[in-house]
Structure 1
Amino acid sequence: MQSERAKVRMIKSEVLSDDWYSLKKYTFDYPRRDGEWQRQSREVYDRGNGAAILLYNLARQTLILTRQFRCPLWVNGHSGLLLEVPAGLLDNEAPEVRIKAEAEEETGYRIEQIQKVFEAFMSPGSVTEKLHFFIAEYDASLRAGSGGGIRDEGEDIEVVEMAWADALNAIENGEITDAKTIMLIQYVALKGIMRGSSCTHSSF
Structure 2
Amino acid sequence: MNKFEEKTINTEVIYKGKIVQLQIDSVTLPDGQTSKRELIKHPGAVAVIALTDEGKIVFVEQYRKALEKSILEIPAGKLEEGEKPEITALRELEEETGYTTDQLKLITSFYTSPGFADELVHLYFTDRVKPLEKAVDMDEDEFVEVRELTLEEAEQLSVEQRIHDAKTAYALLYLKLREENR
Asked if these proteins are the same fold (TM beyond 0.5), I'd say yes
Kindly indicate whether residue 170 of structure 2 is the aligned counterpart of residue 175 of structure 1. no
In the other structure, the counterpart of 1:120 is 110
- Aligned residue among 9, 12, 18 for 1:11: 9
Give 1:146 deviation, angstroms.
4.8
User: How do residues 149-168 of structure 1 correspond to structure 2 at under 5 angstroms?
Assistant: 149-150=138-139, 152=140, 154-168=141-155
Q: SS of 2:172's equivalent? A: helix
Q: SS of 2:115's equivalent? A: coil
Separation in 2 of the partners of 1:7 and 1:175?
38
Mark the CA change 1:155 to 1:67 in structure 2 (over 3 Å): closer, same or farther. Answer: same
In the other structure, the counterpart of 2:58 is 64
In the other structure, the counterpart of 1:30 is 29
User: How do residues 116-155 of structure 1 correspond to structure 2 at under 5 angstroms?
Assistant: 116-139=106-129, 141-146=130-135, 149-150=138-139, 152=140, 154-155=141-142
- Aligned residue among 45, 57, 72 for 2:40: 45
In the other structure, the counterpart of 1:195 is none
Instruction: Please say if residues 50 and 132 of structure 1, whose CA atoms lie closer than 8 Å, have aligned partners that are also in contact.
Output: yes
- Matched letter for residue 136 of structure 1: T
Number of positions where the alignment pairs a residue of Structure 1 with one of Structure 2: 179
Separation in 2 of the partners of 1:144 and 1:64?
18
**C-alpha RMSD of the superposition:** 2.1
Separation in 1 of the partners of 2:136 and 2:172?
21
Q: What TM-score do the two structures reach when normalised by structure 2?
A: 0.89
In the other structure, the counterpart of 2:97 is 107
Show CA shifts across 1:75-103 (max 9, x none): xxxxx212101111111211111100110
Give 1:163 deviation, angstroms.
2.2
- Same amino acid, percent of matched pairs: 26
Instruction: Please say if residues 102 and 128 of structure 2, whose CA atoms lie closer than 8 Å, have aligned partners that are also in contact.
Output: no
